[in-house]
Amino acid sequence: MNHEQMRAVSEDVRGRIVEVMANQDYQHVVVVSFKSGAKRGDHYHPKSTQTSYVLKGRLHVYTKPKDGGGVVALELGPGWRITHEPGEAHSFVALEDSDLLCMSAGPRGGEGFEDDTVRLGVGALENEHKLQVGR
């Protein structure tokens, strides 16, 4: 997993241009909307890399490395991008109404959307993180 706040590559009186990704091949690009408090994810993709860019709102993101390490929790807002490599479990919890631009490289997408998704159960990563930090 890596994450970073994206910066404008150009800005003037008309507005700004933020390059979310460059020189990447994606087979699946969607916008995912969240109502405040909604939980999505709690899964991993054995063969696909998923990159998510926060368009609006604030989310907690929970990630578990494929090597079996502990769950990492981050709070991301507009302009932040996070990439989950194959095998990295991830989930999102909306702290307010939010929109994500999600891009996948690999077999996840179209008719085979669920073929490269292993579900863990709603709240699994958030609950595991709470146990780690003693809450």
Residue 120's domain is classified under what CATH number?
A: 2.60.120.10
Find the domain containing 116 and state its range.
Answer: 2-133
Mean pLDDT of all residues belonging to the chain = 89
Between residues 6 and 38, the one the model is more confident about: 38
Query: For the residues 17-33, what does the mean pLDDT come to?
Result: 82
pLDDT 10s digits, 66-121: 888 899 999 999 999 999 999 999 999 999 999 999 999 888 777 777 889 999 98
Hey, CA dihedral for 40, 76, 72, 48, is it positive or negative? positive
Residue 76 confidence (pLDDT): 97
Between residues 3 and 49, the one the model is more confident about: 49
Residue 135 confidence (pLDDT): 66
Q: Distance (Å, rounded) from C-alpha 80 to C-alpha 115?
A: 28
Q: Is the pLDDT of residue 20 over 90?
A: no
Amino acid at site 105: A
What is the pLDDT confidence band of residue 54, given thresholds at 50, 70 and 90? very high
Amino acid at site 21: M
For residue 77, give the nearest of 95, 103, 50, 102 by alpha carbon. Answer: 95
Overall domain count for the chain: 1
33 neighbors 114 (Cβ within 8 angstroms): no
91 neighbors 61 (Cβ within 8 angstroms): yes
Q: What is the pTM of this model?
A: 0.86
CA-to-CA dists, residue 28 to 24, 25, 77, 105, angstroms: 12, 9, 22, 7
